[in-house]
């Protein structure tokens, strides 16, 4: 039996999804279920002066209306950023008459049916004393403040003497780059079902990337022991970070269910996805880059301003990538936040690094053009053999090979470096590239593995599958350790009654949960091995554990393969229905002597219509170093998805906030543009597979976010090459090019 790890195994949950058998949070059948609707604030800042719920309360089917006048008091929640809590939005609605952002819930209506709840929500009458909202980052930049430390990331950083190095540089570049507010908009909108039993135990079905983190936030808000809360989410229809924390709508649903004594479901509308589940912060980034004539970097200064909030904080740490990507001796970075009245920002796929790489990699391309030197050559001249921030060696790094393989596959040598020099008929052709970089986070995780009497296995962990293939890769890891065919392994995820996992975020799942699953399955296997080794009736009796291998459910002696016995026979002889193994991993501080990071190279060819300024992606290639690849098919799918995410970031996505009203101008998928098939060419994604010997027992880092980074810069750099116009503000629009 060959190893299941590395195989291009089809998704084990694919049939469930295409046949509609996969149950998502809003689809659980709960007896006596009622339905809730939010009444959103129509202003962005001020207070409620009058609130009339009488018409709603008397509407058909209405069971109750919850407002700040009758809602339970909820303490300010601990922040996931600075207090190891579970929330980004730490100040909850319905606590007083204050309005802090447009769309803030001012009432929750519960009725027998969804339609009755939605209708009654329209009957709630609210009058406000409005104040002008703070909506423009640039207007209040002078009030910017440092953010709280997050995962060891601080507001201010410096090494060397950047001011002196800039003053002595042969070439100095100074530019400003901006990125807009972006919203996650996964296919599955957020939803919660909350149900209490007679013992005071709460069961919640929630669209969450981390059931254990959501349970923690619910227990804190409701004042419950954590073992009185169960959270279930076996399938997630996309998250991108929006479902990574507990949001107010989940807590309000639980309160409504307790207040009414009935199960309650609250499903956000698409418009409410723009007000109730975070967003990627707008950024304003100023870069100064100094270099010698030969392109050697001597100084980088990278200052960023992003959105803060009165109700919660998530810093968009854009300059983090600048600290580690290139061997530059003098670096200064800072992040400042500005309090605006548009709700709390949150993490969105590749937070920090996505907007930060756009600025840094655009600046590197500008420097390459100014010198002039080939953009890849410039990056190679400043290649960081060790982490420039700490001096520690990388756990593994194949970025140089990513450049080389990418350049060869893309035929980069055929590029004419002069802007506007390449054409296809009447279209301008541009080639651009950029470096991809994202840290590899490790979080605590645990798993159990059960070998059953019929020779099959069940693996359990309370992590999530966001649709990226978690069920499949964990099946492969378990299959490999147990010596079972993948179809004989069942993986169960997404329930707080399963072992702890912090959740699917930060590209951490394979790095964290994978080793826990491996330990659990190895433990279960070894328990069965020892049963056989100590049993005189077994053909394996008396051998050492090191002499035993396993394949297709049989244990056998390596140098005498005929001496073998199946899991089924061993458990049957001992009268056991199952054998259970456990695995626990704490990767928060390991490996201590190495810096762990994923890398890659992005290449893009664009076609630009000079008459209309229309940009089309003609082809794209990403070559990535993510350590050992557990599943070539799902990893490639993730990479392609990340690159498409980058196309949206570069050319389309932009939430526009009305400056007077503080509202998203087009809170729907007609006004918020996402890439569709017509926007996306055939994308090529490949991996430089170098097993990382330090990161974990699997040698794997994580693939979820690396492919987003660098993509927007590669597109912007290609647009410059095609047109000679340098666009430093995303998204790149035809208006900007015209």
3-state secondary structure 425-479: CCEEEEEEEEEEEEECCCCCEEEEEEEECCCCEEEEECCCCCCCCHHHHHHHHHH
Element counts in the chain: helices (H) and strands (E) = 16, 28
Query: φ, ψ for residue 159 (rounded to 5)?
Result: -140, 145
Based on the number of CB atoms within 10 Å of its own CB, is 602 exposed (0-12), middle (13-18) or buried (19 or more)? buried
**Which tokens sit at 119?**
């209708």
* DSSP label of 728: -
Q: What angle do CA 596, 600, 604 make, to 5 degrees?
A: 160
Measured distance CA(240)–CA(249) in Å, rounded? 18
Measured distance CA(286)–CA(305) in Å, rounded? 9
Place of tokens 């975020």: 505
Residues 6+ apart with CB under 8 A from 223: none
Half-sphere exposure of 63 (CA within 13 A, CB side): 21
Measured distance CA(558)–CA(547) in Å, rounded? 6
Of 702, 151, 7, nearest to 396 by C-alpha is 702
Measured distance CA(46)–CA(295) in Å, rounded? 53
What's the distance, CA 375 to chain centroid?
A: 29
Q: Which of 320, 332, 653, 705 is catalytic?
A: 705
The verdict on whether 705 is a catalytic residue reads yes
Residues 6+ apart with CB under 8 A from 227: none
Active-site positions read 705
């Amino acid at each position: 039996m060959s190893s299941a790890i590395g195989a291009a195994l089809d998704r084990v949950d694919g049939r469930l999804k295409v046949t509609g058998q996969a149950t998502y949070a809003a689809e659980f059948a709960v007896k006596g279920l009622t339905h809730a609707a939010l009444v959103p604030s129509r202003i962005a800042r001020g207070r409620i002066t009058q609130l009339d719920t009488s018409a709603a309360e008397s509407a058909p089917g209405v069971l109750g209306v919850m407002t700040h006048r009758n809602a339970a008091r909820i303490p300010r929640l601990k922040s996931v950023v600075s207090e190891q809590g579970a929330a980004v939005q730490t100040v909850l609605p319905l606590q007083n008459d204050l309005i802090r952002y447009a769309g803030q819930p001012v009432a929750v209506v519960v009725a027998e049916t969804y339609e009755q709840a939605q209708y009654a929500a329209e009957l709630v009458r609210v009058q406000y004393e409005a104040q002008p909202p703070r909506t423009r980052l640039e207007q209040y930049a002078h009030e910017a403040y440092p953010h709280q430390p997050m995962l060891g990331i601080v507001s201010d950083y410096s090494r060397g003497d950047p001011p002196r190095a800039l003053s002595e540089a042969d070439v100095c570049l100074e530019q400003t780059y901006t990125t807009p507010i972006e919203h996650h908009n996964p296919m599955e909108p957020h939803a919660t079902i909350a149900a209490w039993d007679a013992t005071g135990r709460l069961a919640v079905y929630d669209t969450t990337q981390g059931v254990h983190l959501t349970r923690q936030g619910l227990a804190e808000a409701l004042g419950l022991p954590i073992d009185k809360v169960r959270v279930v989410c076996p399938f997630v229809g996309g998250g991108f970070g929006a479902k990574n924390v507990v949001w107010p709508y989940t807590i309000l649903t639980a309160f409504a269910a307790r207040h009414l004594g009935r199960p309650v479901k609250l499903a956000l509308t698409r418009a409410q996805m723009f007000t109730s589940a975070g967003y990627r912060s707008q950024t304003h980034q100023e870069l100064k880059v100094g270099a010698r004539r030969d392109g050697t970097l001597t100084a980088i200064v990278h200052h960023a301003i992003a959105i803060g909030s009165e109700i919660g904080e998530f810093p968009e740490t854009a300059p983090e990538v600048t600290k580690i990507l290139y061997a530059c001796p003098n670096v200064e970075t800072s992040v400042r936040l500005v309090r605006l009245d548009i709700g709390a920002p949150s993490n969105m796929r590749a937070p920090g690094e996505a907007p930060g790489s756009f600025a840094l990699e655009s600046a590197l391309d500008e420097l390459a053009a100014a010198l002039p030197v080939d953009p890849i050559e410039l990056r190679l001249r400043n290649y960081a053999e060790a982490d420039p921030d700490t001096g520690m060696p990388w756990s593994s790094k194949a970025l140089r090979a990513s450049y080389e393989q990418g350049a060869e596959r893309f035929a980069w040598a055929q590029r004419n470096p002069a802007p506007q020099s390449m054409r296809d008929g009447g279209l301008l052709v541009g080639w651009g590239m950029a470096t991809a970089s994202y840290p590899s986070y490790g979080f605590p995780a645990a798993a159990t593995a059960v070998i059953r009497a019929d020779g099959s296995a069940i693996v359990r962990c309370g992590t999530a599958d966001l649709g990226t293939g978690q069920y499949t890769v964990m099946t492969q890891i378990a299959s490999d350790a147990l010596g079972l065919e993948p179809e004989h392994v069942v993986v169960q995820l997404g329930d707080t009654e399963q072992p702890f996992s912090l959740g699917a975020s930060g590209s951490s799942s394979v790095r964290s949960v994978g080793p826990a699953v491996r330990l659990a399955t190895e433990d279960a296997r070894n328990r069965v091995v020892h049963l056989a080794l100590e049993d005189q009736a077994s053909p394996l009796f008396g051998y050492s554990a090191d002499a035993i291998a396993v394949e297709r459910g049989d244990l056998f002696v390596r140098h005498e393969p005929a001496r073998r016995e199946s899991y089924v026979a061993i458990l049957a002889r001992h009268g056991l229905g199952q054998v259970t193994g456990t695995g626990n991993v704490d990767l928060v501080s390991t490996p201590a002597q190495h810096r762990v990071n994923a890398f890659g190279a992005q290449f893009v060819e664009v076609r630009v219509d000079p008459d209309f300024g229309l940009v089309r992606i003609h082809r794209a290639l990403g070559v990535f170093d993510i350590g050992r690849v557990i599943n070539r098919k799902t990893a490639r799918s993730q990479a392609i998805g990340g690159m498409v995410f980058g196309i949206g970031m570069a050319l389309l996505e932009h939430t526009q906030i009305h400056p007077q009203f503080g509202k998203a101008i087009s809170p729907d998928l007609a006004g918020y543009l996402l890439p569709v098939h017509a926007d996306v060419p055939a994308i090529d994604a490949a991996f430089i597979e170098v097993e990382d010997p330090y990161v974990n027992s699997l040698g794997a880092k994580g693939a979820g976010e690396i492919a987003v980074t660098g993509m927007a810069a590669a597109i912007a750099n290609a647009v410059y090459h095609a047109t000679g116009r340098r666009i430093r503000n995303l998204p790149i629009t035809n208006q900007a090019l015209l």
